[in-house]
Amino acid sequence: MIFHKSTSLIFIRLISFFCFLCAVCCKSSFAQTFPNKPITLIVSSAPAGPLDAAGRMLSDYLSKRLGRAVVIENRPGASGAIAAGILAKAPADGYTLMISTRAITINPALYHKLPFDTGKDFVPVAMVMEQVNLLVVSKDFPARTVPQLIKILKDNPDKYSFGSPGNGGIPHLAGEMFKSLSGTSILHIPYKGAAPLMTDLLGGRVDMTFSSPGTALAQVNEGKVFPIAIASEKRSSLLPNIPTFSEYGLKGFNIDSWYGVFAPSGTPVEITRLLNQEINNYLKTEDARKRITNLGASPVIMTSEEFKTIFDDDIIRFSKLVRQLAIGVD
């Protein structure tokens, strides 16, 4: 049989359209049966702490709502880069997810040989909560306001230190931003986690740190550390009496922390929307509000698309910030 050129072109287009329809139907069918086996939720931190608590909170709820176990897998290290590397290699079928912090958008500027492309290899599924960053000083530190703090630091360059739970995280960036905006010089001491850092702060072996309210609130209430200010656009509802740095004239010093759920790139959009809807439904409950407030944070409800806009913007923002502040990691 001999086909004319135009007939052959029509035949090829029909075959291509048929293949496209098959792919769409397969994807739709797959999404309708999701999930039909356990889901793994990778947590980019060690057990205990606010990120792990948020992951287990979602695990409990989603397991009940989806009818399949959502299993927690803690993979700490490298400010979330270890967990992200595992997620990037996982099948894009919705059965492997990750909950991580805003540090995921900072890592591309800090680690130049990441085994994945942060902007392309992950799908933001849902933001879960936000935390302000609070500057606290040891109880005997000779300053109680931002102007007093800046004067003491300028009069005694490199005498005082600030700790962070690790190089390259939000608390580290917050400290470096404060140094740059205030024109002060403070020694940075990285720790392997928030717990040993708080122990040394209470013992006076480090002078100050940027911390989430969930980590520092108990010590603040007991008078073991003193809160100076928060690095946010407005005061925290959890700490309404603590001023912002902007109120003292340090404009633009806004560096909140967020926690969000991610899937591998290529995950069917029907699945990411289902997960986003279920997570948002939980965030509207009184149980979620109480548990998240106890972590010193606030629930955040948004679509996957809105979360992706923030995610993409953060990658650009922190790339510029890390270069500007000349921050490196060991």
Kindly report the number of other CB atoms within 10 A of residue 276's CB atom.
22
Residue 76, preceding bond cis, omega within 30 degrees? no
How does residue 2 score in pLDDT terms, banded at 50, 70 and 90?
very low
Mean pLDDT of the chain: 89
Kindly tell me if the per-residue pLDDT of 7 is higher than 60.
no
How does residue 90 score in pLDDT terms, banded at 50, 70 and 90?
very high
pLDDT of residue 3: 45
How far apart, in whole angstroms, are the C-alpha atoms of residue 80 and residue 101? 8
Kindly tell me if the per-residue pLDDT of 51 is higher than 70.
yes
pLDDT of residue 169: 84
Average pLDDT over residues 106-116: 91
Amino acid, single-letter form, for residue 184:
T
pLDDT of residue 112: 82
Average pLDDT over residues 125-152: 95
Distances in Å between the alpha carbon of 9 and those of 12, 16, 22, 158, 213?
Answer: 5, 11, 20, 74, 65
How far apart, in whole angstroms, are the C-alpha atoms of residue 195 and residue 58? 24
Q: What are the structural domains, with CATH classification, of the chain?
A: 38-130+257-325 (3.40.190.150), 134-248 (3.40.190.10)
Q: Exposure string (b/e) for 154-168, b if CB count within 10 Å is 16 or more?
A: eeeeeebbbbbbbbb
Which carries the bigger pLDDT value, residue 214 or residue 81? 81
How does residue 288 score in pLDDT terms, banded at 50, 70 and 90?
very high
How far apart, in whole angstroms, are the C-alpha atoms of residue 125 and residue 305? 8
Residue 173: burial class (beta carbons within 10 Å; 0-12, 13-18, 19+)? buried
Which carries the bigger pLDDT value, residue 90 or residue 326? 90
Kindly tell me if the per-residue pLDDT of 26 is higher than 70.
no
How does residue 1 score in pLDDT terms, banded at 50, 70 and 90?
very low
Average pLDDT over residues 312-325: 92
Kindly tell me if the per-residue pLDDT of 44 is higher than 80.
yes
Reduced DSSP (H G I as helix, E B as strand, rest coil) percent helix, strand, coil of the chain, to 5: 50, 20, 35
